[in-house]
Amino acid sequence: MAVARVAPDARRTLPVRRLVMLVVLAVVAALYVAPVQKYLRVQRDLGHQRQALADAQRTHAGLLHQREALDTDTRIITLARECGWIFPGEKPLVIQGLPPGTTSHCR
């Protein structure tokens, strides 16, 4: 009976090739890890920055609205009267015993 023998070099080269391929694959995968992590970090930061931009735009719109309101004579007079100012010739009316006001813009 004849038994087929495989040459010792053929048996050893197959696992060595697999090992080399495995090492090469691991190196290639490792080279992709850092860029992928950086990409994910940048995407997360971009989301935070977009949220901050939206908040700043809302604040800006509110400030523009306040500025437009302060440009009207009606709003200026209302704010002045809340601080106790009167027009020349008017007689002030003082009511005592009221709780202190919450107007923080008066000096």
Question: How far is 6 from 103, CA to CA, in rounded Å?
Answer: 97
Question: How far is 24 from 28, CA to CA, in rounded Å?
Answer: 6
Interval 34-45: pLDDT, tens: 899 999 999 999
Q: How confident is the model at residue 16 (pLDDT cuts 50, 70, 90)?
A: confident
Question: How far is 85 from 78, CA to CA, in rounded Å?
Answer: 10
Please check whether residue 107 lies inside any domain of the structure. Answer: no
Q: What is the mean pLDDT of the chain?
A: 85
What global pTM score does this model have? 0.51
Contacts 24+ apart (CB under 8 A), 74-81: 79/105
Determine whether 19 is exposed, middle or buried from the number of CB atoms within 10 Å of its CB (0-12, 13-18, 19+): exposed
For residue 93, what is the enclosing H or E element? none
The mean pLDDT of 27-54, rounded to a whole number, is 94
Please check whether residue 76 lies inside any domain of the structure. Answer: yes
Question: How far is 28 from 38, CA to CA, in rounded Å?
Answer: 17
Please check whether residue 74 lies inside any domain of the structure. Answer: yes
Q: Residue 54 sits in which domain range? A: 10-82
Please check whether residue 104 lies inside any domain of the structure. Answer: no
Q: Tell me the percentage of the chain whose pLDDT exceeds 90.
A: 38
Question: How far is 82 from 79, CA to CA, in rounded Å?
Answer: 5
For the chain, what is the domain count? 1
Interval 65-95: pLDDT, tens: 989 988 889 988 988 888 888 999 999 888 8
Please check whether residue 5 lies inside any domain of the structure. Answer: no
What is the predicted pLDDT for the residue at 56?
Answer: 98
Please check whether residue 106 lies inside any domain of the structure. Answer: no
Please check whether residue 2 lies inside any domain of the structure. Answer: no
What is the predicted pLDDT for the residue at 76?
Answer: 87
Please check whether residue 43 lies inside any domain of the structure. Answer: yes
What is the predicted pLDDT for the residue at 69?
Answer: 84
